[in-house]
Amino acid sequence: MILLKRILIGLLILLIAGAIGGFFYFKNKFMSAPPNRLTLTNLNIPFEFTWQGGEINGKYEPYLAMYVPVQIPGVNRPFHMQFDVGAHSTVLYYNRVLSINEKFGEIFKFDTLDNRLYASDVELKVGSVDLKASAIGFRGKTSDIDWSDSNAIIKIGTVGSDFMERYPLIMDFKKQEITLAEKIPDNLEKEAEFLPFTFDGRKIFLSANLNGEPVSLWYDSGSSAFELIVEESTFWELAEPEATRFTFTGNSWGNAISIHNIESNGEFEFGSVKVPLTFVTYIDWPNKLQAFIMKAANMGGDLGGMTGNKLFFKKKLILDAPNLRYAVVK
C-alpha cells in the first residue's frame, strides 16, 4: 500500500511538472516576442488597404488577405506588404529583397543578429507612415521578382503587430482604410465602447461574449476567410442542431489540411455591438503544436478560438495597444 501511494504521488508530481513545463514552453515559444525595432513617424493620416482574393473549396473568396502599399526610398516602383497583426514582428521576403538590390543597387543592407540574417537600417513608407528599423528579419519562401510585368503587384513582406504596439490602430473595413494614430480621435473616443484585450507576446486576445458567455478571441488580421476557428469539441458545441458538416482540403505553408465548416446560429457581443456567428470552423492541423496553440487560446477557461476580419466587415475595429483596450464601432 505504501509503495502504491509512492507510485501515485510520483505520477502526480510528473503530471504537475509536465503541465508546468508545457505552460512555460508555450509562454516562451508562442507568447513572447523579440524587441520592437521599429520607429514610426508621420502618423494620423489614413491610408488605403486592398484585398487579395483566392479560391477556397472551388469558390472565389475576395477577402483572403489585406495588403498595404509600400514605397522604398530610391526605388521608383510601388510595392505591397501583407497587413497581418497575427504576426508578432514585421518581416521581409529574402528573395524579393535580393531582386530589389540586384536591380536598384544596394538598397537593403544585411547584418547578423543572434546568428540570424537581418536587413539592417531599413527605411520604408508603409501607406502614409514613415518606418525606420534597425533590423528586420526574413521569413517566407518566395520567388525572385519578375520585373517584366510593369503592372504586377509585388509583395515584399508582412507588417506585424510591432507596427501597432506603441500607437492606437484604427481599421475602417467599410472604407478600406487604416490609421495609425498618436491618440484616438475625440469623436471616436466618445462613440466607442472600449473593452479590454491582452497583448502578451504581441498577440491580440479580445474579450467579448458569445451566446452570453465570456470568450477570449485570438485576433489575426491575416485571416479573413473564416469567422471563428475553434478546436473540435467547441466546433460541435457551436454547431446548429442537425446542420451538416462539410469538409474540404486547404493549404497551410505547403501542407494539405482538412478544413471543416458547419452552420452556427451564435451571436457575438462586442459591448453593445452584436455580430452574428453564421459558420464555425475546425481544422485538422498538420502537427500537434498547432492544435495545442488552439487549446492554449482557452487557457483562461473561456471558450477560446481564433478570428480574423470577417466578423468586422463594414465596421471599425480600434486596437489601442498602449492602453490594452479595443472597440468595435458600427
Q: How far is CA 229 from CA 45, 97, 295, in A?
A: 33, 33, 11
Q: Any idea what the CATH number is for the domain that residue 48 is in?
A: 2.40.70
For residue 149, what are the domain limits? 38-164
For residue 142, being part of any structural domain is answered with: yes
Number of H helices, E strands in the chain: 5, 22
pTM: 0.86
Q: What's at 245, amino acid-wise?
A: R
Phi/psi at 129 (nearest 5 deg)?
-90, 130
Residues 206, 154 within the same domain: no
Residues 154, 189 within the same domain: no
Mean pLDDT of 16-26: 40
Mean pLDDT of 69-79: 95
- pLDDT > 70 fraction of the chain, expressed in percent and rounded: 84
Nearest-angstrom CA–CA distance, 47 and 177: 5
**Cell numbers linked to 281:** 470552423
**Cell numbers linked to 186:** 475625440
In tens, the pLDDT along 268-290 reads 999 999 999 999 998 887 665 55
Mean pLDDT of 125-140: 95
Q: Which of 131, 164, 197 is the last residue of a domain?
A: 164
Nearest-angstrom CA–CA distance, 70 and 129: 9
Look up cell 467599410; give the residue: 174
* pLDDT band, residue 256 (cuts 50/70/90): confident
For residue 5, being part of any structural domain is answered with: no
Mean pLDDT of 179-192: 96
Residues 221, 295 within the same domain: yes
Residues 198, 324 within the same domain: yes
Residues 156, 223 within the same domain: no
For residue 246, being part of any structural domain is answered with: yes
Residues 204, 301 within the same domain: yes
Q: Any idea what the CATH number is for the domain that residue 240 is in?
A: 2.40.70.10
For residue 16, being part of any structural domain is answered with: no
Mean pLDDT of 248-252: 76
Residues 148, 191 within the same domain: no
With contact defined as beta carbons under 8 Å apart, do 162 and 85 qualify? Answer: no
Q: Report pLDDT for 305.
A: 87
Give the residue among 267, 287, 283 at the shortest CA–CA distance from 275.
Answer: 267
Residues 153, 205 within the same domain: no
For residue 261, being part of any structural domain is answered with: yes
Residues 160, 226 within the same domain: no
Burial of residue 18 (number of CB atoms within 10 Å: 0-12, 13-18, 19+): exposed
**Cell numbers linked to 61:** 473568396
Residues 128, 190 within the same domain: no
For residue 26, being part of any structural domain is answered with: no
Residues 224, 309 within the same domain: yes
Residues 154, 193 within the same domain: no
Count structural domains, the chain: 2
